């Protein structure tokens, strides 16, 4: 299966929403940013549209995404935001043209639905990255933004990650899959469910109860998705919640408990997820991970 072509100056990209509503004012700086990279931005009709919390009803969001997907002149789709809603349209998207002429699809959080679907059904790479809603005057020159530019234009990325006491040392070189833990959990047993065998798994999440993190990790373990990994990368487990009676472990400690019996490298503190430093990763492509005593190195 051919992978998406890297961008060059003059290419067109689309910014649209497959999930929650968003205004043009909230993406204006991201539009300017993409234009500063030499790209032409096509703003989808889902921007400034809404039905309840969504960027238009399901048919409207589906149509907007399908137009961008089928347009040969659009070389990448940068999803404007997450929230919830992509799963409501995923089974109606026609990927026949995309299979012949794939393009980069970028985003994270709810966009994990698209990432997992593309890697599982079409063996096609996509970019786990920040989204236009995350770009503002304070972040437009950040490492996270620069990492997305590098991925889109085919430049190598290399991240050095501060060590964590829960890390498990080792090396891995394999295809990387994953994204938001809650979304991956929700895709279990569907046609979008990920294959983790022989791969590096990336996980991140936001605003979950700790007992639910344990529940989700139990599901991954019991379904065999943890035992045959080549490596595990844990990004931000942000704004976790607890009950009146404490669960007794952090999200990271919960994950460590469920993978302690397996012999592969595990990296915590990775700059990915619902946090300011959300570096881009090309899912569905080979990555190199080296977890050492003092730091971890990630390369693509």
Per-residue model confidence as pLDDT tens digits over 122-161 = 999 999 999 999 999 999 999 999 999 999 999 999 999 9
Q: 148 with 162, same domain?
A: no
| Last-in-domain residue among 117, 136, 152 | 152
Per-residue model confidence as pLDDT tens digits over 213-264 = 999 999 999 999 999 999 999 999 999 999 999 999 999 999 999 999 999 9
Report yes or no: 144 and 279 within 8 Å, Cβ to Cβ.
yes
**Site of tokens 């703003």:** 43
* Separation of alpha carbons 205 and 52, rounded Å: 24
Percentage with pLDDT > 70 across the chain:
100
The reply to whether 2 falls in a domain is no
Helix extents (H) in the chain: 28-36, 58-70, 96-100, 112-122, 143-152, 181-186, 210-222, 251-259
Which CATH number does the domain housing residue 124 bear?
3.40.50.10740
Q: 264 with 214, same domain?
A: yes
- Look up residue 228 and give its two tokens: 């045959």
Number of domains in the chain: 2
Per-residue b/e over 49-83, b at no fewer than 16 CB within 10 Å?
bbeeebbbbeebbbbbbbebbeeeebbbbbbbbbb
Is pLDDT above 80 for 2? no
Domain coverage including residue 83: 12-152
The reply to whether 3 falls in a domain is no
Q: 121 with 164, same domain?
A: no
The reply to whether 4 falls in a domain is no
Per-residue model confidence as pLDDT tens digits over 32-52 = 999 999 999 999 999 999 999
Rg of the chain, C-alpha, whole Å: 18
Q: 285 with 165, same domain?
A: yes
Per-residue model confidence as pLDDT tens digits over 202-220 = 999 999 999 999 999 999 9
| Last-in-domain residue among 152, 175, 206 | 152
The reply to whether 60 falls in a domain is yes
| Last-in-domain residue among 152, 183, 215 | 152
* Separation of alpha carbons 116 and 109, rounded Å: 12
The reply to whether 232 falls in a domain is yes
Which CATH number does the domain housing residue 225 bear?
3.50.30.60
Q: Where are the beta strands (DSSP E) in the chain?
A: 12-16, 40-43, 74-79, 104-107, 126-128, 158-162, 170-180, 200-206, 231-238, 266-267, 281-283, 286-291, 295-299
Q: 249 with 122, same domain?
A: no
Residue 43 confidence (pLDDT):
98
Report yes or no: 129 and 107 within 8 Å, Cβ to Cβ.
yes
């Amino acid at each position: 299966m051919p992978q998406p072509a890297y961008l060059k100056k003059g290419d067109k990209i689309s910014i649209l929403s497959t999930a929650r509503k968003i205004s043009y004012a909230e993406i204006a700086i991201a539009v300017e940013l993409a234009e500063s990279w030499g790209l032409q931005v096509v703003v989808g009709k889902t921007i400034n549209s809404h039905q309840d919390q969504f960027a238009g009803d399901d048919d409207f969001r589906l149509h907007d995404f399908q137009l961008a997907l089928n347009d040969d002149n659009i070389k990448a789709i940068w999803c404007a935001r997450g929230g919830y809603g992509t799963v409501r349209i995923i089974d109606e998207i026609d990927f026949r043209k995309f299979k012949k002429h794939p393009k980069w699809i970028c985003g994270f959080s709810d966009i994990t639905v698209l990432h997992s679907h593309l890697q599982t059904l079409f063996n096609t790479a996509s970019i786990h990255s920040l989204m236009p809603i995350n770009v503002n005057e304070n972040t437009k020159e950040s490492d996270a933004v620069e990492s997305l530019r590098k991925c889109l234009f085919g430049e190598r990325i290399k991240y050095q990650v501060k060590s964590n006491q829960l890390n498990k040392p080792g090396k891995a070189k394999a295809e990387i899959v994953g994204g938001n833990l809650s979304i991956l959990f929700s895709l279990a047993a569907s046609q979008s469910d990920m294959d983790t065998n022989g791969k590096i798994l990336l996980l991140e999440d936001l605003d979950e109860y700790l007992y639910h993190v344990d529940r989700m990790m139990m599901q991954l373990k019991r379904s065999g998705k943890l035992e045959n990994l080549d490596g595990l990368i844990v990004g931000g487990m942000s704004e976790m919640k607890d009950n009146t009676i404490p669960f007794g472990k952090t999200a990271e400690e919960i994950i460590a408990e469920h993978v302690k019996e397996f012999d592969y490298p595990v990296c915590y503190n990775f700059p990915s997820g619902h946090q300011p430093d959300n570096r881009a990763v090309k899912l569905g492509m080979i990555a190199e991970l080296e977890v050492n005593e003092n730091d971890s190195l990630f390369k693509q």
